[in-house]
């Protein structure tokens, strides 16, 4: 690992000598990808989102060697073979084994994390210890900013929450904040839903059922009257007319995450999840009846947490690949600029990609992570430590590069100033 890092440093110095900076990115004088020929990226987790992200990354950075790592080596191999590119291969890796993780991660220039939320914080710790940069998607309960000092000392860049929301939403918030002298309110509404309501919940599962249950059970933090407050998830219910979709309902979920610590002196700030009307009531009933509980229940000598059974039932009954989905996102940031009150409103509505069979949820989550990883290798991010996307979004150069890459993949964001 040490030898590889020395070699990597030498190559980096050589790369700087022969590269010029064009449009914010480093390219050599003849346009070849000399600097990237020796770059190695490890993708940890080969589930639905991770597999789509690695394919997008590998096709856009075809001179980078990409390894897919998973405890389930058969799944990692299947994903690599399905992608079918010479620069993509696989290895077996147990993300719960800290020493194995550290010894492996140190051999790579960049790590992309697509692990369950329960392993996300451990991955950041392992990357910091191994000295490897990280772009991460996991919906971890811990605050990744706690590891900022360790990451700075290790000289690594950790970018957490690189998905949809948190993710794209954070970039948009940062872009609006950069234009304001003072921020007053931040409001985020986001949802991945079927094109039309589907019984029994008006919903289909397009991402991890475990993370979905986390979203419905984890306590929600918002900012109310200038103070961080804890509210009940599914509360704050309101009806919302979303352009291009129709009437939806919105309720509080815990999606602010790093924004709670990086957006200072804001009066009110919250995130709400969008669903078709009636969904929150049904989910609330399941929650009250204990279907999401973690304490095991014994039936006929078999002990099982209801949550695990519910996740499996969600997976079996609500993962409906034949049903097309959409993703709706609205970010509204209000504040003061030049003594005038202004609002910046961003809208995004993305659809299922029928030509490639990729859900809108996977597109907006996986492509976001892939794009950030590509920008990392292109040296668009130089800051060390735990660097949340809202901080990067303040840079017009990063914002333009990020949104242009989304648009190139057919994901369009509109911005309006009022």
Q: What is the model's pLDDT at position 278? A: 97
pLDDT digits (tens, 9 = 90+) for 380-408: 999 999 999 999 999 999 999 999 999 99
Query: Strands, E, within 88-215: which ranges?
Result: 88-92, 110-113, 133-136, 157-159, 182-194
Q: What is the model's pLDDT at position 24? A: 33
Separation of alpha carbons 43 and 207, rounded Å: 18
CATH number of the domain at 112, please: 3.40.50.720
Whether residue 6 is contained in a domain is answered as no
Contact 259, 186 (CB under 8 A): yes
Q: What is the model's pLDDT at position 377? A: 95
How many independent structural domains does the chain possess? 2
Q: What is the model's pLDDT at position 4? A: 52
pTM, entire model:
0.88
In this structure, the answer to whether residues 184 and 286 fall within a common structural domain is: yes
In this structure, the answer to whether residues 207 and 336 fall within a common structural domain is: yes
In this structure, the answer to whether residues 155 and 209 fall within a common structural domain is: no
Domain end position, chosen among 112, 141, 159: 159
Contact 203, 245 (CB under 8 A): no
Whether residue 398 is contained in a domain is answered as no
Q: What is the model's pLDDT at position 31? A: 38
β partners of residue 133: 110
- Answer left, alpha or beta for residue 67, where phi above 0 means left and psi between -120 and 50 means alpha: beta
Provide the domain limits for residue 66: 40-159
**SS3 state of residue 396:** helix
CATH number of the domain at 267, please: 3.30.360.10
Contacts of 62 (CB under 8 A, 6+ apart): 85, 87
In this structure, the answer to whether residues 196 and 292 fall within a common structural domain is: yes
Separation of alpha carbons 289 and 416, rounded Å: 43
Separation of alpha carbons 120 and 45, rounded Å: 11
Tokens representing 218? 């984890």
Separation of alpha carbons 339 and 2, rounded Å: 54
In this structure, the answer to whether residues 191 and 115 fall within a common structural domain is: no
In this structure, the answer to whether residues 115 and 216 fall within a common structural domain is: no
Domain end position, chosen among 159, 176, 202: 159
Maximum distance among all Cα pairs of the chain, rounded to whole angstroms: 71
Q: Give the β-pairing of 182-194 and 268-275.
A: parallel
Q: What is the model's pLDDT at position 6? A: 52
Whether residue 45 is contained in a domain is answered as yes
In this structure, the answer to whether residues 70 and 94 fall within a common structural domain is: yes
Q: What is the model's pLDDT at position 5? A: 54
Low-confidence stretches of the chain (pLDDT beneath 50):
11-37
Separation of alpha carbons 328 and 411, rounded Å: 11
Whether residue 334 is contained in a domain is answered as yes
Whether residue 86 is contained in a domain is answered as yes
Whether residue 87 is contained in a domain is answered as yes
In this structure, the answer to whether residues 104 and 178 fall within a common structural domain is: no
Q: What is the model's pLDDT at position 105? A: 97
Domain end position, chosen among 141, 159, 177: 159
Q: Tell how far CA 37 is from the center of its chain.
A: 27
In this structure, the answer to whether residues 224 and 104 fall within a common structural domain is: no
Whether residue 278 is contained in a domain is answered as yes
**Is residue 73 classed exposed, middle or buried when 0-12, 13-18 and 19+ CB atoms within 10 A define those classes?**
middle
In this structure, the answer to whether residues 254 and 113 fall within a common structural domain is: no
In this structure, the answer to whether residues 110 and 182 fall within a common structural domain is: no
Angle between helices 360-377 and 396-408 (to 10 degrees): 130
Whether residue 406 is contained in a domain is answered as no
In this structure, the answer to whether residues 134 and 214 fall within a common structural domain is: no
Q: How many CB atoms lie within 10 A of CB 43?
A: 31
């Amino acid at each position: 690992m040490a030898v590889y890092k020395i070699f990597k440093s030498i190559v980096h110095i050589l790369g700087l000598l022969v590269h010029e900076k064009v449009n914010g990115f480093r390219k050599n004088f003849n346009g070849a990808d000399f600097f990237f020929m020796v770059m190695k990226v490890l993708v940890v987790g080969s589930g639905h989102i991770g597999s789509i992200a690695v394919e997008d990354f590998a096709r856009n950075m075809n001179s980078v060697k990409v390894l897919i790592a998973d405890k389930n080596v058969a799944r990692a191999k299947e994903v690599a073979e399905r992608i079918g590119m010479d620069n993509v291969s696989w290895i077996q890796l147990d993300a719960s084994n800290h020493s194995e993780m550290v010894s492996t991660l140190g051999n790579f220039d960049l790590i992309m994390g697509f692990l369950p939320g329960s392993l996300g914080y451990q991955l950041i710790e392992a990357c910091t210890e191994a000295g490897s940069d990280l772009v991460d998607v996991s919906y971890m309960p811990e605050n990744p900013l706690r590891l900022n000092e360790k990451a700075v000392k290790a000289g690594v860049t950790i970018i957490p929450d690189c998905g949809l929301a948190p993710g794209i939403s954070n970039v948009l918030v940062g872009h609006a904040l950069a234009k304001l002298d003072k921020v007053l309110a931040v409001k985020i509404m986001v949802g991945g839903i079927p094109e039309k309501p589907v019984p029994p919940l008006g919903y289909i599962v397009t991402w991890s059922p475990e993370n979905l249950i986390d979203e419905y059970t984890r306590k929600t933090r918002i900012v109310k009257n200038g103070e961080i407050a804890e509210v009940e998830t599914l509360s704050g219910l309101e009806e919302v007319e979303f352009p291009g979709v129709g009437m939806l309902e919105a309720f509080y979920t815990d999606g602010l995450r790093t924004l709670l610590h990086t957006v200072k002196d804001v009066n009110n700030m919250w995130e709400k999840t969008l669903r078709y009307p009636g969904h929150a009531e049904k989910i609330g009933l399941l929650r009250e009846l204990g279907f999401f509980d973690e304490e095991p229940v014994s039936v006929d000598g078999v002990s099982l947490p209801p949550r695990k059974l519910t996740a499996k039932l969600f997976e079996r009954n609500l993962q409906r690949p034949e049903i097309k989905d959409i993703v709706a996102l609205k970010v509204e940031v209000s504040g003061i600029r030049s003594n005038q009150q202004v609002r910046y409103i961003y809208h995004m509505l993305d659809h299922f990609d029928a030509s490639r069979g990729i859900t809108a949820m996977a597109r907006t989550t996986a492509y976001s992570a892939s794009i950030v990883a590509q920008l990392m290798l292109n040296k668009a991010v130089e800051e060390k430590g735990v660097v949340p996307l809202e901080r990067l979004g303040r840079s017009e150069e990063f914002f333009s590069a990020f949104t242009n890459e989304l648009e190139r993949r057919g994901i369009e964001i509109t911005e309006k100033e009022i």
